[in-house]
């Protein structure tokens, strides 16, 4: 089957592009000595895990379900004997889930001293019996973004990470690592500035001779696979941290792994005249299939299109849901758009499949894999039962 034969709407994962991203990350990993993890919250289409696991050191999870998925599915192609690392961070862990998490995770990061102590009995047993290593998420209180406060864990009043003023002079017994995550879709300079602030204020915990910290996790939000990312700068920083403090360094990007490695293909169902631009009613929806478009908000790239007014025919792209604001954006084209035309949204692998929903009873888009030889195969087809079973 070819890509123009798939039923729409469909998310199409581009295997070639996914591999290219992973190859870049592997080179950074090999040259810097960092361990790079897939943050599954951005992308968990697990049929591709055997590809990604060939290159990366493991995964990180936002809770039990993602951790289980990684534990079950994240193995390199044809080699189930290799066991990539499973990490987890949650602002608060459920008592009932702790034991299972302790059994399947290699790293567990706590967001507060309360949480660390509340679960101490369980994790201490796992540390003793297995390879579990426990860390604390800290808040370096160093914001590097002003555009999207909802994605800024250093914004005033943030619940994410322990501030320096709330940490004891000595790291609590049993804690082996520190974690911070502060960036969102950013280049190397903001990471460097954040690390400098972290080093200045938290250095004593890295150099304490009586209590050796073994690892430092620099979180996600690094756009490492973008062409203009300063990868040499990142490699140098990781080497510096490893050499100076004798710690393992982890990076856990989500976006960077599958950025530009997926499309959302949609069909034009109607063209409605308005006093402004004509509106294309699509068989996809921002609210249901690309919620970040409304949440962030942002204008997704669309193949062969321009800004409003840039090309001859401008349309407002919208959806068949009842939500008046379910608008994807205004785009222009060289030719008039007809009912039945197919449009291709780009960069739709990340934060799409993991966030979609069936509001209005909208069907979920199929998940399709585009192989390097141009053939596609349907990984998942969704229908009425998927809508009904959740309600
Ligand atoms: C703790 C943590 N790690 C990693 C990530 C992945 O970030 P990104 O997909 O922006 O690289 C996130 C995203 O919110 C996060 O909260």
| The token pair that represents 72 in the structure block | 């079950």
What count of other Cβ atoms lies within 10 Å of the Cβ of residue 227? 6
Helices 95-104, 120-129: axis angle to 10 degrees equals 20
pLDDT tier at 147 (50, 70, 90 boundaries)?
A: confident
Cβ–ligand 1 contact at 252 (below 6 Å) = yes
Portion of the chain with pLDDT greater than 70, in percent = 100
Burial of 155 (0-12, 13-18, 19+ CB in 10 A): middle
pLDDT tier at 212 (50, 70, 90 boundaries)?
A: confident
Cβ–ligand 1 contact at 66 (below 6 Å) = no
For the chain, the three-class secondary structure string (H helix, E strand, C coil) is CCHHHCCCCEEEEEHHHHHHHHHHHHHHHHHHCCEEEEECCCCCCHHHHHHHCCCCCEEEECCHHHHHHHHHHCCCCCCCCCCCEEEEECCCCCHHHHHHHHHHCCEEEECCHHHHHHCHHHHHHHHHHCCCEEEEEEECCCCCCCCCHHHCCCCCCCCCCEEHHHCCCCCCCCEEEEECCCCCCECHHHHHHHHHHHHHHHHHHHHCCCCCCCEEECCCCECCCCCCCCHHHHHHHHHHHHHHHCCEEEECCCHHHHCCCEEEEEEEEEEECCCCCCEEEECCCHHHHCCHHHHCCCCCCECCCEECCCCCEEEEEEECCCCCCCEEEEEEECCCCCCCCEEEEECCCCCCCCCCCCHHHCCCCEEEEECCCCCEEEEECCCHHHHHCCC
Cβ–ligand 1 contact at 254 (below 6 Å) = yes
pLDDT tier at 222 (50, 70, 90 boundaries)?
A: very high
CA 185 / ligand 1 centre spacing (Å) = 9
Q: Which residue(s) pair with 337 in the sheet? A: none
CB 319 within 8 Å of CB 281? yes
Residue labelled with tokens 């959806």:
319
Cβ–ligand 1 contact at 87 (below 6 Å) = no
CA 314 / ligand 1 centre spacing (Å) = 35
Cβ–ligand 1 contact at 178 (below 6 Å) = no
The residue contributing the CA closest to ligand 1 atom 15 is 220
pLDDT for 384 beyond 90: yes
Cβ–ligand 1 contact at 161 (below 6 Å) = no
CA 230 / ligand 1 centre spacing (Å) = 19
pLDDT for 150 beyond 90: no
CA 362 / ligand 1 centre spacing (Å) = 28
Residue labelled with tokens 């993991």:
354
Q: Which of 252, 256, 262 to mutate to test the pocket of ligand 1 (most atoms within 8 A of CB)?
A: 252
Cβ–ligand 1 contact at 351 (below 6 Å) = no
CA 11 / ligand 1 centre spacing (Å) = 22
Segment 44-48 shows an average pLDDT of 98
**pLDDT score recorded for residue 206:** 95
Portion of the chain with pLDDT greater than 90, in percent = 95
Q: Which of 181, 216, 259 to mutate to test the pocket of ligand 1 (most atoms within 8 A of CB)?
A: 181
CB 191 within 8 Å of CB 218? yes
What would the pLDDT profile of 153-168 be if each residue is shown by its tens digit? 999 999 999 999 999 9
What would the pLDDT profile of 300-341 be if each residue is shown by its tens digit? 999 999 999 999 999 999 999 999 999 999 999 999 999 999
pTM across the whole model: 0.97
Cβ–ligand 1 contact at 84 (below 6 Å) = no
CA 255 / ligand 1 centre spacing (Å) = 8
CA–centroid distance for 58 within its chain: 14
Closest by CA position to 34, among listed 185, 235, 307, 254:
235
CB 11 within 8 Å of CB 369? no
| The token pair that represents 16 in the structure block | 């070639």
The residue contributing the CA closest to ligand 1 atom 5 is 220
Cβ–ligand 1 contact at 152 (below 6 Å) = no
Dihedrals phi, psi of 129, to nearest 5 degrees? -90, -20
pLDDT tier at 40 (50, 70, 90 boundaries)?
A: very high
Q: Are strands 248-251 and 262-272 parallel, antiparallel or unpaired?
A: unpaired
Cβ–ligand 1 contact at 107 (below 6 Å) = no
Cβ–ligand 1 contact at 39 (below 6 Å) = yes
Average pLDDT for the chain: 97
> Domains along the chain?
3-11+262-348+356-388 (2.40.37.10), 33-258 (3.20.20.10)
What count of other Cβ atoms lies within 10 Å of the Cβ of residue 74? 24
209-218, 280-289, 316-325: segment of lowest average pLDDT? 209-218
CA–centroid distance for 258 within its chain: 8
Cβ–ligand 1 contact at 89 (below 6 Å) = yes
Ligand 1 nearest atom to the CA of residue 255, by list position: 9
pLDDT tier at 148 (50, 70, 90 boundaries)?
A: confident
Cβ–ligand 1 contact at 181 (below 6 Å) = yes
pLDDT tier at 116 (50, 70, 90 boundaries)?
A: very high
CA 378/CA 25 separation, integer angstroms: 27
């Amino acid at each position: 089957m070819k890509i123009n034969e798939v039923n729409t709407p469909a998310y199409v994962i581009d295997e070639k592009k996914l591999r290219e991203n992973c190859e870049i990350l592997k080179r950074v990993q090999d040259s810097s000595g960092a361990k790079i993890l897939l943050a599954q919250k951005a992308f968990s289409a697990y049929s591709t895990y055997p590809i990604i696991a060939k290159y990366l050191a493991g995964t990180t999870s936002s809770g039990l379900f993602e951790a289980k998925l990684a534990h079950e599915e994240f193995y390199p192609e044809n080699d189930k004997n290799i066991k990539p690392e499973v990490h987890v961070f949650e602002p608060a862990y459920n008592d009932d889930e702790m034991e299972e998490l302790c059994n399947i995770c290699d790293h567990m990061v706590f967001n507060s001293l309360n949480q660390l102590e509340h679960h101490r009995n369980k994790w201490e047993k796992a540390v003793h019996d297995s390879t579990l290593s426990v860390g604390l998420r800290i808040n370096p209180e160093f914001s590097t973004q002003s555009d999207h406060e909802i994605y800024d864990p250093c914004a005033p009043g943030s619940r994410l990470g322990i501030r320096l003023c709330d940490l004891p002079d000595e790291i609590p017994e049993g804690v082996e690592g520190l974690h911070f995550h502060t960036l969102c879709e950013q280049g190397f300079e903001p990471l460097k500035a954040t690390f400098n602030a972290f080093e200045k204020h938290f250095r004593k915990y890295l150099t304490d001779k009586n209590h050796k910290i073994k690892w430092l996790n620099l979180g996600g939000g690094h756009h490492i696979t973008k062409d203009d990312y300063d990868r040499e700068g990142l490699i140098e920083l990781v080497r510096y941290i490893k050499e100076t403090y004798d710690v393992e360094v982890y990076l856990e990007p989500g976006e960077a792994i599958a950025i530009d490695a997926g499309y959302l293909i949609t069909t034009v169902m109607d063209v409605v005249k308005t006093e402004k631009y004509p509106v294309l009613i699509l068989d996809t929806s921002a609210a249901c299939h690309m919620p970040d478009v409304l949440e962030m908000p942002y204008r997704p790239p669309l193949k062969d299109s321009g800004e409003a007014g840039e090309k001859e025919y401008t349309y407002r792209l919208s959806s068949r849901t009842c939500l008046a604001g379910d608008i994807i954006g205004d785009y222009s084209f060289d030719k008039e758009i007809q009912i039945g035309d197919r449009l291709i949204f780009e960069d739709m692998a990340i934060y799409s499949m993991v966030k979609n929903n069936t509001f209005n009873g909208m069907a979920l888009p199929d998940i399709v894999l585009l192989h390097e030889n141009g053939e596609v195969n349907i990984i998942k087809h969704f229908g009425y039962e998927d809508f009904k079973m959740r309600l």
